[in-house]
Chain A
Amino acid sequence: MNASAFDALEVESIAAAEIARALDFYGPDGRGAAPLLPILHALQHAFGYIDDEALPILARMLNISQAELRGVVSFYHDFRRAPAGRHRLKICRAEACQSLGCEALVAYLAQAFHLAPGQTTPDGALTLESVYCLGDCALGPAALIDDELIGRLDKERIDALMSEVRK
């Protein structure tokens, strides 16, 4: 997931495609904000985050207020308002992974790499995030590195991951 520079034309074309898809599938119900989540996902995929400059464009195209739009973007944990590191490590901290020691791994990341959830390594290689369940509760502790699920996460695997992303 590489952050690239903001591009108003690309924002418009992404939004237009999703608006058309929503109208096609939902008919009149698909007017207004219906395509908003798919648009935000597509923007984040293209740019790595949701740039503030995209908001007036979306507000105009969807015919909703900027206030409402900001409310939506800030509500969902997935959407970032600023670029993240080149890789995202989401570590599961929910109950099943707790029973298998995920908190010790979070502590290890802090101690060995000075990295707490929400932070990015100084070289911009990796952003660490907390998540609550990845559906790998039988083989925890679990984590997602970008879109790849990791089970039975341990310190050795974390060490390997950290040196891999820094290459």
Chain B
Amino acid sequence: MSATRIYIARDSAARSVNADAVAKAIEQQARARGQIVEIVRTGSHGLLWLEPLVEVAGPQGRTAYGPVRVGDVVGLFEAGFLHGAPHDLSLGPVEEIDFFKRQHRFTFARVGVVDPLSLDDYRAHGGWQGLERARTIGPQAVVDEIANSGLRGRGGAGFPAHIKWSAVQEAQSERKYVVCNADEGDSGTFADRMLMEGDPFLLIEGMAICAYAVGSDRGVVYIRSEYPDAIATMGAAVKSARAAGIFGGAFDIEIRIGAGAYICGEETALLESIEGRRGQVRAKPPLPVQSGLFGRPTLVHNVLTLAAAPFILTQGGPAYAAQGMGRSRGTMPIQLAGNIKRAGLFEAPFGLTLRELVYDVGGGTASGRPVGAVQVGGPLGAYFPDSLLDVAFDYESLAQAGGLLGHGGIVVFDDSVDMSAQARFAFSFCAIESCGKCTPCRIGSTRGMETLDKIATGVEPEKNKALLKDLMNVMADGSLCALGGLTHLPVSSAMKHFPQEFEPGNRST
């Protein structure tokens, strides 16, 4: 009798809702019943509301069940799930689930499918082909492919990637660095984490392609300490890639661990942190591409930017650019988070509207109440009311609507949300996470909180609203980076779209 293969995610989100215990219970039940199963732990497909999701391999492919609780396991065996039999938790094949079917998985193609740390799996699913092609066509042609793809930085600013690649390629230095920004501090975002836990070799391949193109022999992945699983998986993957000779002695990668500072996601603060200093933002110029880590030409990219490179090199820049809208080319791993029914990772070409994402894809709120507000792009992103969700999800459309795309996180709140408290939190977060270099950011954020409190309690509300406006202008103009410079966005969007919530006495907390 051959073993039945069962796939269960080892992604930390799946584990956070008991995937390990479910895997163990299945193993025990199988043993007790004399049935042979082989459990493969994969990344998560991103249908996170269905985790723990269990897939059983059969002659027709994989059949999914979820969300599975430990208490469901005996019932699944009795129903015959090892043969794909129907059960209350049956979901059919993952590829047929609407949430999955609507996606274009360029970057996340392997996540949820393969064993993340199996080099054999990686190669069998098209791994290393981008790197091999890069080495065949040469550095300049690699940068041309990136240019043709239209790829823009996925870390927040959306700057065209190839311009930075060219700059580092042209820089003269005996040492150049490729630094992967895996600090992913924005609330509502987890795509970097899922990629590192679910397909770490893809990021390694992306970094190796980039290093080859720009002439770098050292790469650093800076991962936030809040991600212990991603740190472990990336560490193990780098070790086995190195041992397998993937880098050919020409490149190597170190994993660096952050220490709980949101500002270290800002690229120059991140470089300071690697150098062993306080994570304070550097004045620009010089840009990191000229003088970055240890004063060397340095290419800093987000995880998703680097992880897009293997697809672009394998399929060609135009294949990537064929998707998307306007100047936002390719796909974005969108993260649906917070109070939303179908929460998870949804990779799609730019251009869907927020309404489609929140309602058609996400199914509205998890609580079943009306949508109250939607924050897009992390803690520095704008709040949108339900009436303004027809804006398209791409860099330019969101900017035009007074928001930003950021790292692609969408956080849904139901109508119990208190927008005055959310605005206050934006200032409070800025105060907690400020690197302290600019006075408007360091001090202004606390003043902002106090002023909002006065407005909420009815102390000269009109005068204080005017004061707040001035304060936000000073912060926007007098801040070195986007933390102080954009904190006004969640605040002013909340005040603009939800004015009634800033009337005295309306704050619930």
Contacts and interface: CB of A to CB of B under 8 A. Distances in A.
Contacts of A152: 16-17
A32 B275 CA distance: 9
B234 to A, nearest CB: 14
B507 to A, nearest CB: 13
Given A34-B294, A135-B184, A136-B16, 10 more contacts: A37-B256, A75-B261, A77-B260, A132-B433, A133-B184, A134-B226, A135-B230, A140-B337, A149-B15, A150-B16
Given A78-B260, A138-B48, A132 B185 contact: yes
Contacts of A40: 259
Contact of A135 (B193, B344, B509): B193
Interface string A13-35: 00000000000011101001111
B interface, size bucket: 35 or more
A151 B11 CA distance: 12
Interface stretch (A3-11, A98-106, A118-126, A159-167): A98-106
A30 to B, nearest CB: 8
B277 A33 contact: yes
Contact of B261 (A36, A77, A98, A151): A77
A8 B275 CA distance: 24
Contact of A71 (B278, B296, B412): B278
Contacts of B218: 25-26
Interface in A104-147: 131-140, 142, 144, 147
Interface residues of A, number: 50
Interface in B419-452: 422, 425, 429, 432-433
Contacts of B262: 132
B324 interface: no
19 contacts: A33-B275, A34-B276, A35-B276, A37-B256, A72-B276, A76-B261, A78-B259, A96-B409, A132-B185, A133-B184, A136-B12, A136-B13, A137-B187, A137-B188, A139-B16, A139-B51, A144-B226, A149-B16, A151-B13
B276 A95 contact: no
A149 B338 contact: no
Contacts of A41: 225, 257, 259
Interface of B: 12-13, 15-17, 48-49, 51, 175, 184-190, 192-193, 218, 225-230, 252, 254, 256-262, 273-279, 293-294, 296, 335-340, 343-345, 366, 375, 379, 409, 411-414, 417, 422, 425, 429, 432-433, 509
A84 to B, nearest CB: 13
Given A37-B259, A71-B278, A77-B260, A96 B188 contact: yes
Contacts of A149: 12-13, 15-16, 229
Contacts of A132: 185, 187, 262, 379, 429, 432-433
A94 interface: yes
A76 B12 CA distance: 24
A34 B417 CA distance: 44
Nearest to B253: A25
Nearest to A94: B187
B505 to A, nearest CB: 20
A38 interface: yes
Contacts of A139: 13, 16-17, 48-49, 51, 343
Interface of A: 25-27, 29, 32-38, 40-41, 62, 64, 68, 71-72, 75-79, 90, 94-100, 103, 131-140, 142, 144, 147-152
B278 A75 contact: yes
Nearest to A99: B338
Given A34-B276, A79-B259, A95 B12 contact: no
B346 to A, nearest CB: 11
A107 B86 CA distance: 43
A95 B411 CA distance: 7
B417 A99 contact: yes
Given A77-B261, A136-B190, A139-B17, A99 B412 contact: yes
